[in-house]
Chains A and B, each alone.
Chain A
Amino acid sequence: MNPEPHQNQPALNVDGLEAAYQDVVRVLHNISFHIHEQECVALLGSNGAGKTTTLKSISGLLQGDGSVTGGKVYLHGEDVTGKPAHFMVPKGVIQVLEGRYVFPDLNVRDNLLMGAYTRMDRTHIEDEIDRIFGYFPQLKDRLHTKAGYLSGGEQQMLVIGRALLAKPRILLLDEPSMGLAPKLVREVFEIIERIRSEENLTLLLVEQNANMALRLAERAYLMETGSIVLEGTADELMEDPRLQEVYLGGLNS
């Protein structure tokens, strides 16, 4: 870990972010939030609230069909607004996309190695793969299996493991629970919790499963139609009736 110039400076600071697809469809309006070093923050909200777009504008994956049209993103105080993914990855900002996108034709090991694509320090990679198998022992048994043949849960573990090999300082996790059985969801979250404490990770978690997310996160922001409508500690939000309103119906309805 690099020493921080200012102890109180947030690891990630998003200030008034605006984003649009194809320069026409505005999807984010004045999004502001911050994450401190080693904090876990959850972004909650229903479908189409703009959670994934927020992640993509930070990690640089928006380029192509959308763009950041306003606001700033600061990483440890450095302005990284609108920078592409291949710039952000070496900076330690790694996003795990929703939907468990493994490289189906590569085996588990090669998938993991792909995570180390931008790494220049290669001597410890074998050890790190072993450490990742410590979190996901199931994967070790399937080292040479094509990732396309893994089960959904294993694929979710693989994409998280792959992201860890990129040496993240801030991990952006998009819907790790999507499409998994409740028991697996708990398992995945337990592993994330473990990884978080052992790797001293800063975590930005996007989830529809608010219950699970709030158990893991210290603070959370609630999004609706491209804006942040509610923020607070996980405990506060857990009690807040407005959270349920957002999931069950609109705030203003």
Chain B
Amino acid sequence: MEPNLTDKDAGTAAARPLLETRLERYGAVGLILALAVGSMLISSYHLSLLTTITIFAFSAMGLNLLSGNAGLISIAHAAFMGLGAFTAAWFAIDLGIPILIAIILAGIVSAGVGLLFGIPSLRLSGLYLILATFAAQIILYWFFEQALWLTKSPDGRFVGIPEVMGFEFGDPWHYYLLVLVFTIAGAVVYLNILRSGLGRSLEVIKERPIVSQMMGVNLQRTKLIAFTIGHFYAGVAGALYGWHLQFVATEAFDLMGSIELLVMIIIGGLGSLAGAVLGATFIVVVPELLDMAGRRLVDDMGLMAPIRMFIYGLLVVIFLIYEPHGLARTWRKLVRYFNKKLFKNKNEH
């Protein structure tokens, strides 16, 4: 990012390592290996779920930066994913740009549009900002239905099997590995932002906008950077999602999608990487589990379908009552507990 900004870690808790404890470091390596190898072994249905989770974790990181860290609540994140999905398809298929570049370009387009919507929102906060992002959601969705040069049909467009430099991602496992690489890169960038001066300024403008300015934080620039980076993540995630399903469905990027993304980071935990990952896992897995339970318990899905959403909502509410700081905190408690058990007295640094 901007070197003169990220370099300012005078404002941060001096040079914190990327992963703080040994368990986190071993855990991260272990998790990546387990995902890379394990994804080869599981069924295609589970692999598809895993890919979806990974893509949404990536997207949720961007939203968490914007809404969790900087406190700029957005209910348009899915629309920006859609923008990324459609522009990536347009770049790759209509213009013949290589897919990897198209994905990055889609991120840049989404970041640019996010920046544009961010400018009029600069003076807004709280409920008014939510309304402004609501407008962005409506406008973008309307645009998807109208701009047929981009979207081909109001319902969306087929994008086919992705191909990078002559290599076809026909095997979903290969595509999963591509998504995983993107997500790991996104996670490293996200963690780095959090421990940089930029990350600290995002945190303080949320808590105390005026005092932050008094400390020399450029409030408007910091907000615009948050809009830009957050929506870059959305655009890239959208592009990845399009090729995952091989069809970019306009419907997937409606208001409900945006709210689900917001619920992800609230349930997962605001402002942390673990929050984005755990929240995405929760939101993707729970409805599937409910479906599965529904099939086991009652064969008639007609009966299960209406109460499925009810149970889903109920779970979300119960969750927020008992762990209002999100799964990430539950996770941290577990990590601290195991860290003590496993690395007793050895964790000196």
Contact = CB atoms under 8 A, between A and B. Distances in A.
B208 interface: yes
Interface string B10-53: 11111000000000000000000000000000000000000000
Interface string A37-62: 00000000000000000000001110
A182 interface: no
Interface stretch (A8-16, A117-125, A222-230, A239-247): A117-125
B77 interface: no
Contact of B218 (A86, A96, A104, A116): A86
Given A109-B13, A117-B8, A95 B214 contact: yes
Interface string A112-135: 011111110010010000000000
B197 interface: yes
B208 A118 contact: no
Contacts of A122: 10
Give the size category of B's interface with A: 20 to 34
A61 B212 CA distance: 10
B217 interface: yes
B168 interface: no
Given A113-B14, A116-B11, A105 B214 contact: no
B215 A166 contact: yes
A106 B208 CA distance: 11
Contact of B204 (A90, A103, A125): A103
A157 interface: no
Nearest to A90: B216
A115 B215 contact: yes
A117 B213 contact: no
Contact of B214 (A97, A113, A119): A97
A19 interface: no
A103 B211 contact: yes
B101 to A, nearest CB: 36
B227 to A, nearest CB: 18
A61 B123 contact: no
Contact of A86 (B14, B208, B210, B216): B216
A104 B207 contact: yes
A116 B214 contact: no
Contacts of B123: 64
Nearest to A105: B207
Contacts of B218: 84, 86
B203 to A, nearest CB: 8
A85 B214 contact: yes
B137 interface: no
Nearest to A94: B214
Given A64-B123, A114-B200, A86 B11 contact: no
B305 to A, nearest CB: 42
Contacts of B211: 97, 101, 103
A110 interface: yes
Contacts of B197: 117
B120 to A, nearest CB: 15
B216 A166 contact: yes
Nearest to B213: A85
21 contacts: A60-B213, A61-B214, A84-B213, A86-B219, A89-B215, A101-B210, A103-B203, A103-B211, A105-B207, A106-B204, A109-B13, A110-B13, A110-B200, A114-B215, A117-B8, A117-B200, A119-B10, A122-B10, A125-B10, A166-B215, A166-B216
Lowest 5 CB-CB distances: which A-B pairs, in order? A89-B216, A118-B216, A86-B218, A117-B11, A85-B213
Interface of A: 59-61, 64, 84-86, 89-90, 94-97, 101, 103-106, 109-110, 113-119, 122, 125, 162, 166
